[in-house]
C-alpha cells in the first residue's frame, strides 16, 4: 500500500481504535497490522505527540505476564478531535470516489 | 542490535527531554520488547522493526522543542526549536538563521525606540521644573511650560502606542515562526517515511 496513504490515516486509525477501547502500544500496532502493514516504530512518536497535545492520557495496568502495561485512553478533547477528523475523512473519500467514478465512465 | 543496545542508544540521545518524560518514552519501547519476546520474536528482529534509535530520538527531540517553544514565548526556546530542526538536516542554517536574526533585531530596535519616545516625553514634562534647579537651562527654554507639558504627554502616549503596536507584531512574528517550524517538521517526517 502507498506509504503516503498510510502516513495520513495512521493518526485517524489510532484514534478510532482508542475510541473503541483502551489499548497498550503493542496491541495498537497489532490491531492496525490486521488491516494493513505498518512500520512498528511509527506508532510511539505518534502516541507521544497525541499525549502532549492532550488527546490521550496513559495509565498503568497490571498484566498476568510480566510488568504492568501502559494503556492509552482518549480524553474528552481527543474524542472531539477524532469526530472532527473522521468527518473530514468521510467527506474527503466521498470526493475522491466521485472523481474516480467519473473517470471510469469515460473508459 | 539487541534490546539493551537499542534502549541505551535511545536514552543517550534524549538527554534534553525532562527525566519523567524520557522515562515515559522508554517505557513504551521497553514494553514493546517485552511483549514481542513473549510472542517468540528475536530482540534483534524487534529492534529492526522499530527502526533506527537516532532517527526516533531526532523526531522526539524536534517535537519536544517545538512544543516547548509553543507553550512559553521566549527566544531561547524558539532558538532550541530551530536548532533541533536543523539537526534533522532539512533547513539551511545560514539561509534561515540570517533573516530570522535580522527580523528579531529590527523588531527589538523598533520596540526600544518606542521606549525612547516615551522617555523623551517625560523629559519634556520635567524640563520646566528642572529650569528652577539648573540655572542656565532657562535660556534654552523659550517655549512656554504648558506647551512643553502637553507635547510631553502627547509623546508619552505616542510612545506607549508604538510599544503596544510592535509588541503585537513581535507576537505575530513569533507565532508565524512556530507555524513555519511545524510545517518543516511535517515535511521532514513525511519524507523520512517515504524513504523507509
Per-residue pLDDT tens digits of chain A, which is 107 residues long: 566 667 678 899 999 999 999 999 999 999 998 888 887 888 888 898 898 889 999 999 988 877 899 999 999 999 999 999 999 999 999 999 999 998 888 76
Buried b (16+ CB within 10 A) or exposed e, A56-94: bebeeeeeeeeeebbbbebbeebeebbeeeeeeeeeeee
Co-location of B46 and B77 in the same domain: no
Residue numbers of A between 4 and 63 with CB closer than 8 Å to B? 4, 6-7, 24-26, 29, 39-42, 44-45, 47-49, 52, 58
Cβ-contact A32, A13 below 8 angstroms: yes
Residue B32 touches partner A, C-beta closer than 8 Å: yes
- Banded pLDDT at B30 (limits 50, 70, 90): very high
Co-location of B12 and B43 in the same domain: yes
CA pair distance B47, B36, nearest whole angstrom: 10
CA pair distance B107, B162, nearest whole angstrom: 12
What does the pLDDT look like over B121-171, one tens digit per residue?
888 888 777 777 766 666 666 777 788 888 889 999 999 999 999 889 888
ipTM of this predicted structure: 0.81
- Backbone angles phi and psi of A24, in degrees to 5: -95, 165
Half-sphere exposure of B178 (CA within 13 A, CB side): 21
Q: Say if the Cβ atoms of A45 and B29 lie within 8 Å.
A: no
- A6 to chain B: which residues are within 8 Å by CB? 193
Q: Supply the DSSP string of A52-70, one letter for each residue.
A: HTTSEEEEEE--SSSSPEE
Cβ-contact B16, B81 below 8 angstroms: no
CA pair distance B106, B127, nearest whole angstrom: 31
Co-location of B44 and B92 in the same domain: no
C-alpha cell recorded at residue B10: 535511545
Co-location of B18 and B111 in the same domain: no
Q: Name the domain count of chain B.
A: 2
What does the pLDDT look like over A73-95, one tens digit per residue?
999 999 999 999 999 999 999 99
Co-location of B47 and B77 in the same domain: no
Q: What is the structure's pLDDT at B196?
A: 45
- A26 to chain B: which residues are within 8 Å by CB? 31-32, 35-36
Domain that holds residue B129: 72-195
Query: CA B25, B26, B28, B29: dihedral to nearest 10 degrees?
Result: 130
Question: Residue B175 contacts by C-beta under 8 Å, 6 or more apart in sequence?
Answer: none
Which domains, and CATH codes, for chain A?
A: 3-106 (1.10.10.10)
> Would you say residue B49 has pLDDT above 50?
yes
Amino acid at each position: 500500500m502507498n506509504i503516503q496513504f498510510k502516513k495520513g490515516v495512521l493518526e485517524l486509525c489510532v484514534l478510532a481504535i482508542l475510541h473503541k477501547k483502551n489499548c497498550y502500544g503493542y496491541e495498537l500496532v497489532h490491531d492496525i497490522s490486521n488491516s494493513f502493514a505498518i512500520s512498528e516504530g511509527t506508532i510511539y512518536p505518534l502516541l507521544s505527540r497525541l499525549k502532549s497535545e492532550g488527546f490521550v492520557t496513559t495509565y498503568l495496568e497490571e498484566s498476568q505476564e510480566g510488568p504492568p502495561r501502559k494503556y492509552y485512553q482518549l480524553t474528552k478533547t481527543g474524542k472531539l478531535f477524532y469526530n472532527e477528523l473522521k468527518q473530514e475523512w468521510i467527506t474527503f473519500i466521498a470526493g475522491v470516489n466521485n472523481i474516480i467514478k467519473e473517470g471510469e465512465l469515460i473508459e | 542490535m539487541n534490546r539493551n543496545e537499542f534502549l541505551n542508544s535511545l536514552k543517550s540521545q534524549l538527554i534534553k527531554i525532562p527525566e519523567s518524560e524520557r522515562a515515559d518514552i522508554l517505557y513504551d519501547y521497553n514494553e514493546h520488547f517485552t511483549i514481542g519476546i513473549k510472542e517468540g520474536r528475536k530482540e534483534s528482529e524487534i529492534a529492526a522493526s522499530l527502526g533506527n534509535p537516532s532517527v526516533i530520538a531526532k523526531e522526539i527531540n524536534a517535537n519536544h522543542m517545538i512544543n516547548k517553544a509553543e507553550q512559553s514565548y521566549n527566544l531561547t526556546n524558539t532558538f532550541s526549536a530551530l536548532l533541533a530542526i536543523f539537526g534533522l538536516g532539512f533547513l539551511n542554517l545560514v539561509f534561515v538563521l540570517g533573516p530570522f536574526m535580522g527580523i528579531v533585531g529590527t523588531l527589538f530596535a523598533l520596540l526600544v525606540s518606542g521606549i525612547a519616545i516615551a522617555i523623551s516625553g517625560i523629559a519634556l514634562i520635567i524640563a520646566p521644573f528642572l529650569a528652577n534647579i539648573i540655572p542656565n537651562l532657562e535660556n534654552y527654554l523659550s517655549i512656554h511650560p504648558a506647551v512643553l507639558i502637553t507635547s510631553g504627554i502627547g509623546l508619552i502616549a505616542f510612545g506607549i502606542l508604538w510599544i503596544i503596536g510592535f509588541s503585537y507584531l513581535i507576537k505575530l512574528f513569533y507565532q508565524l515562526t512556530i507555524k513555519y517550524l511545524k510545517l518543516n517538521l511535517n515535511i521532514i517526517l513525511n519524507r523520512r517515511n517515504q524513504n523507509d
